[in-house]
Amino acid sequence: MKINEESSVKVCKIIEKDFEDYDSEKLIKLFREYLKDKRSKDFNEYYNQTVLDKEKINFGTFSNKWALHLRRNHIDYLNKNYELLKKEIIEKKDINLFYQKFGIDKNGRRNKSFCCKLFHTFLPDEFIPLDNPIRDHFKLRKFDFLLCEEIIRIGYLMFISKNHEKIKLVRDVLFSDEFKFFRVKELSDIRLLDMIYWYILNRIE
């Protein structure tokens, strides 16, 4: 077994442990808290607009909403080349190549997190919008950021393939009218998992 595959197996095991005691009551409580949290709900509204409704991205807003801290000259470059970036992502689906071409700004700042978020925006069923709290939760700080995206995404898929009932439970809860804001019918299984982790690991207690 390759190191990357071993790491994905470890991710899967961590998820299984995290979800051991999840039932509908606990999930309902979690999603109610999510909707009451203004920061989380505001972000999710932006997510729905750009990822689900496919509204055109302004990279200044994108940087702010995803907490990316992109530099102004890089934002201007990205806005100017929006269609080129979109075409590159959708047609080639190569995040490492994209990073080499567009992820390093003129000052040499490396924006790997930006690449993950943008790939997820255009290909939400195929890439996850990885951030450091999730990376740290799965104990992957020693790995390259883009490699972590792949490791965790595969770990998600491993969990999903082995735990259909858990995923069904999440979907059943979100199908309630109370949670229609999340638009669960439009979300992939990997997005459901990532959304839960994003809220739990990023919320301000």
- Tokens describing residue 171: 């979907």
Return the residue matching tokens 């965790």: 152
Give the closest residue to 116 by CA, choosing from 141, 142, 150, 91: 150
Q: Summarize pLDDT for 76-103 with one digit per residue, the tens.
A: 999 999 999 999 999 999 999 999 999 9
> What residues pair up with 73 in beta bridges, in sequence order?
none
Q: What mean pLDDT comes out for the span 55-67? A: 97
What confidence score (pLDDT) does residue 203 get?
A: 72
- % residues pLDDT > 70 (the chain): 98
Give the closest residue to 149 by CA, choosing from 91, 190, 204, 201: 190
Return the residue matching tokens 């047609």: 91
196 pLDDT more than 50? yes
Q: Summarize pLDDT for 150-170 with one digit per residue, the tens.
A: 999 999 999 999 999 999 999
Q: Summarize pLDDT for 92-151 with one digit per residue, the tens.
A: 999 999 999 999 998 899 999 999 999 999 999 999 999 999 999 999 999 999 999 999
What is the chain's alpha carbon radius of gyration, rounded to the nearest angstrom?
17
Q: Quote the CA–CA distance of 34 and 13 in Å, as a whole number.
A: 25
Whether the Cβ atoms of residue 7 and residue 13 lie closer than 8 Å to each other: no
Handedness of CA 156, 158, 164, 165 (dihedral sign): negative
